[in-house]
Amino acid sequence: MLTRYLFPHRYKRLGLALAAVALVLGLLEWYDLLHLPHLLAWLPSPIGNAELPDTLNGRQVRANHDLYAILLICGGLLAACSREKHEDEYIGQIRLESLLWAMYAYYALLLLAFVLVSGMPFFMVMMYAMFTPLLLFLARFHLVLLRGAKAALHEE
């Protein structure tokens, strides 16, 4: 398989670590179980929402959720788009099937959200929905790889 657009394998662990840290910290802070100082307070926010102000010393600043989202996206992409140690046609096929499966699952969940959720809770669902395709792909891809490795061990 042509893997010209994949990152080297060494970035996979870094990506998984970044994504895991961002996911854990983001969820802890989202549910008010952790309070860290505003790490992106220095970064201007020219387009803000006056209805949801996040102020520090009287000026609007970025919340840490922005940082966690950036880390989750970058880490997830590094993990999802890194080569495996032994990249072959089988891995490529699993990668494509996992991507297709993740898209089907994502849009099925999104359709359910449109039917079952409305109002402000829908906004929360959309916040989670931004990361769902990437996380579904990672979960499915690694689950299929793990199953394949276990099946190969049992055959021997």
pLDDT digits (tens, 9 = 90+) for 72-109: 999 999 999 999 998 889 999 999 999 999 999 999 99
pTM for the model stands at: 0.79
Can you state the percent helix, strand and coil of the chain, rounding each to 5? Answer: 65, 5, 35
Query: Is 4's pLDDT higher than 70?
Result: yes
The DSSP call for residue 56 is E
The fraction of the chain above a pLDDT of 70, given in percent, is 83
Please report, for residues 19, 64, 65, 72, 145, the alpha-carbon distance to residue 26 in angstroms, rounded to integers and kept in the order given: 10, 8, 6, 9, 28
pLDDT for the residue numbered 100: 97
pLDDT for the residue numbered 3: 64
The pLDDT tens digits of the residues spanning 30-55 come to 888 888 777 766 666 666 554 445 55
Distance CA 41, CA 25 (A): 17
Cβ neighbourhood burial of 47 (10 Å; 0-12, 13-18, 19+): exposed
Helix (H, G, I), strand (E, B) or coil at 124: helix
Task: Take residue 93 and report the two structure tokens written for it.
Answer: 């096929």
Rounded mean pLDDT, 116-139: 91
